[in-house]
Amino acid sequence: CDRRYRMRSAVARSSRAAFAPAGAGSRRLMSSGTVTVDLDKPYLLHKLESEPPMTAEVTRDELLGYYSLMFRMRRMEISADTLYKAKHVKGFCHLYDGQEAICVGMEAGATWGDSVVTSYRDHAWQLSRGDTVKGVLCELLGKQGGCAKGMGGSMHMYKADANFYGGNGIVGSQAPLGAGMAFAHKYNNDGCCAFALYGDGASNQGQLFEALNMAALMKLPLVYVCENNQYGMGTSKKRSSANHDYYTKGHYVPGIKCDGMNVLSVRECTKFLKKHAVEVGPIVVEFDTYRYHGHSMSDPGITYRNREEVAQVRATRDPVDRVKKYCLDTELVTEAEIKEIDKEIKAEVVAAVEAAKSAPMPDPSELWTDIHVGQTKDFFMRGPDITTSSGVYGTVV
């Protein structure tokens, strides 16, 4: 797969010191300047003879990169929460805080040549594929400077130049799109694969199984990614699915379950998934994760679960804290460096919020753009009343 699409490490903005040797523990120092970390949660397999490694080799720069990007995502989503409550964000808004390790770990194990399509919980993916915090927030606020010119909003992020195809507002609709993207990769023989992400709430949709059947028949390089955050809207997995071992629901398609709260586990699993998809065919992965907010901003998130449950996950499994712990336990990064990164990112997000709030609204003329492919300026489009129409009456091209 074309390496120019390799994930651009966020650490390029924050790497400071040379590699620092460390003591013992659950990691081993390698002569190449890497540390080997033991992963603590085993994979569960379905119709597979091999599995990803239970260790991960990681460098200082990689750890700093993962931490910086995940912390940036967390602060961005917290700001989105505040902006929504202040009525700056209109319509739906689904936040990703708690699930950051999946996005960042997958990016670390794949390349930008690999296609990604996801659900409406898409802000972090837009950021990981090269957009800025300001760009994401401009789209959320319906302002110029957003990826869809402020006309798509929260659920319709998009970055075709990095093979990110949304952001889809219809539950499960991204699954057949992912199969089509996988078909394109196979047709072009480019060595890349497609990742189609969906939640446990979409896992029983008929269109998932129809598309997966076609992918299996054609041996497409497709990875179905179930982000199991334990609740489909306000319904727990045990109340919605007769089989909530989502990694087995491909039936005749192999599957694997992975700790979705550990960025290194996700990274190693993603490498394994891509290799299988390209060389063998489709595969299903279930990333075990948790969302801190409700399903969307209109859901308080505590009517079907209690605050103690959320607090327990935050205290024991938080993905940002986990990668921070790796940074410190390996002694590759100091507490002072972490604090400096936190300070810089908080300032960056505050500046992005103010920039998005002050950005101009889309020009009214944009209402008539991007309606038809290849439309001319004279192409006629009728408004609510004839006097507000655009173009020249009778012009059809």
CA distance 86 to 215: 44
346's enclosing H/E stretch is helix 335-358
Q: What is the pLDDT of residue 47?
A: 98
pLDDT tens digits, 307-337: 999 999 999 999 999 999 999 999 999 999 9
One-letter amino acid for residue 42 of the chain: P
Distance CA 115, CA 138 (A): 24
Cα within 13 Å of Cα(31), Cβ side: 0
Q: Residue 37's beta-bridge partner residues? A: 27, 56
CB 265 within 8 A of CB 39: yes
- Predicted TM-score (pTM) of the model is 0.90
* CA 97/CA 323 separation, integer angstroms: 15
pLDDT digits (tens, 9 = 90+) for 279-291: 999 999 999 999 9
**Contact by Cβ (8 Å): 345, 68:** yes
User: For the chain (length 397 residues), average pLDDT per consecutive 10?
Assistant: 45 32 41 82 98 97 97 98 96 95 98 97 97 98 95 95 94 96 98 97 95 98 97 91 96 98 98 98 98 90 92 96 97 96 98 98 90 89 90 86
Distance CA 221, CA 372 (A): 31
pLDDT for res 336: 97
Note the pLDDT of residue 394. Answer: 87
What is the reported pLDDT for 28?
53
CA-to-CA distance for 290 and 274, rounded, in angstroms? Answer: 24
